[in-house]
């Protein structure tokens, strides 16, 4: 019911300490150690009855012993016995073993989670919820386990699940409104120079945002969800560069064997300098499957409508096929790859384009509190018709990368706070100098997990 790989590490530690025993104790502990490992392998193969029999035939340990190795072996036996009985459907017996483990070691999260899963399977959602609350209050709870508990709590068709995260921090930007990098452009052989108001402008700002989500489990295989993201960047000395993003994403998701498919409607609105710039409405279909225990693949097809409020000739209908691949190289390192195509049809054909986007990213968890990330993307845009002013078809190549670190402040006594520090860099190379620009933004943000 729970990942058993962690116990191999525990047994390895116990094995290393066995040498401190006398010959007779060592022989007994060798036998127990070997039988436990075999029981774990049987559980992985879902041979619950055989694993239970093997555990019943183990040599008896002295439960009154004060030796920490003997105590740990006994707790391991209890845990695997609970796993066996749960696998056989003997849930009351399994509950008893997990409850004993909780009483013996109330700071260990694993028995709580297995007990909660049994309550959920039996439809005892209130009891499962009480256990999850106890786990979330554990002082020893690691951030990744905390996240997993929040996901497990969602398996409750009787209750809405919701989360709220608040963000704030500082921004340093060297090109606030994506001004051209070039000092001039050439139109029909004549050079035109940009004045200072059209050149890149540096500014410092404050970021304020919120991420919220709500979901409802329809049954064990289907769920509805709604996510909202609000992001506001405010620059005191350049208010015309202030930006506001409001983004809503809905979803209907259903399991299909070991895979999942989903339908995701979306609406987003972007404002710059206090004026509406762009509205986006889209509908996407996604299918997610695992090729093996390390690789997850998510093909997606999306239709989006981009409406520019002040320049309707730029408004476009976009078809976007996309493939997302997640590769878990190890427990600490994940590699993410994205390929997508954009087919945009605008009201004015000179704004229609075909685009290809490639992205590669990594996530490295240094420890339970600290994670590093890096992303690079390449996006090419080839427009369908030449611009009248330049007598040439526009062709852009866009590069962007992000380097960031994320530190949970649990070590300082603030487990709900996370500090993010990073750099965003964007560069657009174009055959028309008017559209060539680059922008670098430094940020330092604090995230607060309200609930």
Q: Check whether 61 has a pLDDT greater than 90.
A: no
Q: Check whether 4 has a pLDDT greater than 60.
A: no
- Long-range Cβ contact pairs of 63-69 (< 8 A, separation 24 or more): 69/14, 69/17, 69/18, 69/21, 69/29
Supply the pLDDT for residue 424: 97
User: Three-state DSSP class for 271?
Assistant: strand
Supply the pLDDT for residue 5: 47
- Minimal CA–CA distance to 411: which of 137, 139, 166? 139
- Which residue spans within 257-369 are E strands per DSSP? 259-272, 275-290, 295-308, 316-328, 333-346, 353-365
Residues of the chain with CATH 1.25.40.10: 5-153
205 vs 233: CA distance, rounded Å = 7
- Minimal CA–CA distance to 63: which of 12, 10, 3, 104? 104
Task: List C-alpha distances in Å: 168 to 208, 410, 448.
Answer: 4, 18, 9
As a whole number, mean pLDDT of residues 343-355 equals 92
Q: Check whether 33 has a pLDDT greater than 80.
A: no
Task: List C-alpha distances in Å: 29 to 17, 64, 97, 239, 348.
Answer: 10, 16, 21, 72, 79
Task: Mean pLDDT check: name the lowest of 15-24, 242-251, 408-417.
Answer: 15-24
Supply the pLDDT for residue 6: 47
- Minimal CA–CA distance to 353: which of 430, 271, 264? 430
Question: How many residues in total does the chain contain?
Answer: 451
Per-residue confidence band for 339, with pLDDT thresholds at 50, 70 and 90? very high
As a whole number, mean pLDDT of residues 169-196 equals 78
**Are 284 and 266 spatial neighbours (Cβ–Cβ below 8 Å)?**
yes
Q: Check whether 394 has a pLDDT greater than 80.
A: yes
Question: Which two three-digit tokens encode residue 97?
Answer: 């073993």
Number of H-type helices and E-type strands within the chain = 8, 16
As a whole number, mean pLDDT of residues 53-67 equals 69
Q: Check whether 64 has a pLDDT greater than 70.
A: no
Q: Which residue has the tokens 């919120």?
A: 210
pLDDT tens, residue by residue, 127-165: 888 888 888 888 777 777 777 887 787 777 767 778 899
* CATH number listed for the domain at residues 5-153: 1.25.40.10
Q: According to DSSP H, which parts of 220-320 are helical? A: none
Residues of the chain with CATH 2.40.160.60: 160-449
Neighbours of 416 (CB within 10 A): 15
260 vs 201: CA distance, rounded Å = 46
pLDDT tens, residue by residue, 69-102: 777 777 888 888 888 888 888 888 888 888 888 8
Q: Which residue has the tokens 């004015």?
A: 348
Cβ neighbours of residue 103 closer than 8 Å, sequence gap 6 or more: none
Supply the pLDDT for residue 63: 59
| Torsion sign (Cα): 350, 351, 355, 359 | positive
Supply the pLDDT for residue 362: 97
Cβ neighbours of residue 114 closer than 8 Å, sequence gap 6 or more: 1, 2, 82, 83, 86, 94, 98
Report whether CATH 2.60.40.10 matches the domain 160-449.
no
Most confident range (mean pLDDT) of 93-102, 232-241, 335-344 is 335-344
Radius of gyration of the chain (CA): 28
What percentage of the chain reaches a pLDDT higher than 90? Answer: 43
């Amino acid at each position: 019911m729970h990942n058993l790989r962690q116990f191999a590490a525990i047994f390895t530690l116990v094995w290393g300490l066995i040498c401190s025993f006398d010959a007779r104790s060592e022989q007994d502990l060798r036998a127990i150690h070997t039988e436990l490992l075999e029981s774990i392998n049987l559980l992985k193969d879902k041979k619950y009855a055989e694993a239970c029999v093997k555990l019943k035939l183990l040599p008896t340990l002295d439960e009154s012993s004060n030796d920490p190795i003997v105590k740990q072996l006994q707790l391991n036996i209890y845990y695997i016995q609970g796993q066996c009985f749960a696998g056989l459907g003997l849930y009351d017996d399994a509950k008893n073993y997990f409850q004993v483990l909780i009483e013996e070691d109330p700071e260990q999260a694993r028995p709580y989670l297995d007990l909660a899963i049994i309550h959920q399977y039996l439809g005892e959602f209130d009891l499962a919820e009480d256990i999850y609350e106890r786990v979330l209050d554990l002082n020893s709870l690691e951030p990744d386990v905390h996240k997993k508990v929040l996901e497990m709590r969602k398996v409750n068709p009787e209750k809405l699940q919701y989360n709220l995260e608040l963000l704030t921090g500082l921004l340093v930007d060297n090109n606030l409104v994506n001004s051209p990098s070039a000092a001039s452009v050439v139109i029909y052989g004549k050079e035109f120079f940009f004045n200072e108001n059209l050149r890149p402008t540096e500014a410092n700002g404050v970021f304020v945002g919120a991420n919220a989500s709500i979901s409802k489990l329809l049954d064990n295989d289907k769920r509805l969800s709604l996510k909202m993201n609000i992001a506001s960047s405010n620059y005191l000395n350049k208010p015309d560069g202030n930006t506001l993003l409001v983004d809503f994403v809905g979803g209907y998701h259903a399991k299909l064997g070991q895979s999942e498919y989903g339908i995701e409607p979306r609406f987003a609105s972007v404002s710059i300098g206090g004026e509406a710039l762009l509205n986006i409405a889209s509908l996407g279909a996604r299918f997610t499957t695992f090729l093996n225990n390390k690789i997850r693949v998510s093909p997606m097809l999306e239709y989006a409508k981009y409406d520019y409020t002040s320049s309707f000739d730029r408004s476009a209908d976009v078809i976007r096929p996309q493939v997302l691949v997640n590769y878990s190289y190890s427990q600490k390192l994940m590699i993410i790859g994205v390929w997508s195509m954009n087919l945009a049809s605008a009201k004015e054909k000179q704004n229609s384009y075909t685009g290809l986007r490639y992205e590669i990213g990594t996530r490295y968890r240094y420890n339970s509190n600290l994670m590093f990330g890096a992303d690079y993307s390449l996006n090419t845009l080839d427009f369908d018709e030449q611009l009248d002013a330049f007598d040439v078809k526009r062709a852009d190549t866009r590069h962007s990368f992000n380097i960031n670190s994320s530190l949970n402040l649990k070590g300082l006594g603030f487990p709900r706070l996370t500090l993010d520090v990073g750099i965003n860099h964007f560069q657009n190379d174009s055959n028309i100098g008017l559209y060539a620009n680059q922008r670098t933004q430094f940020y330092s943000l604090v995230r607060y997990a309200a609930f």
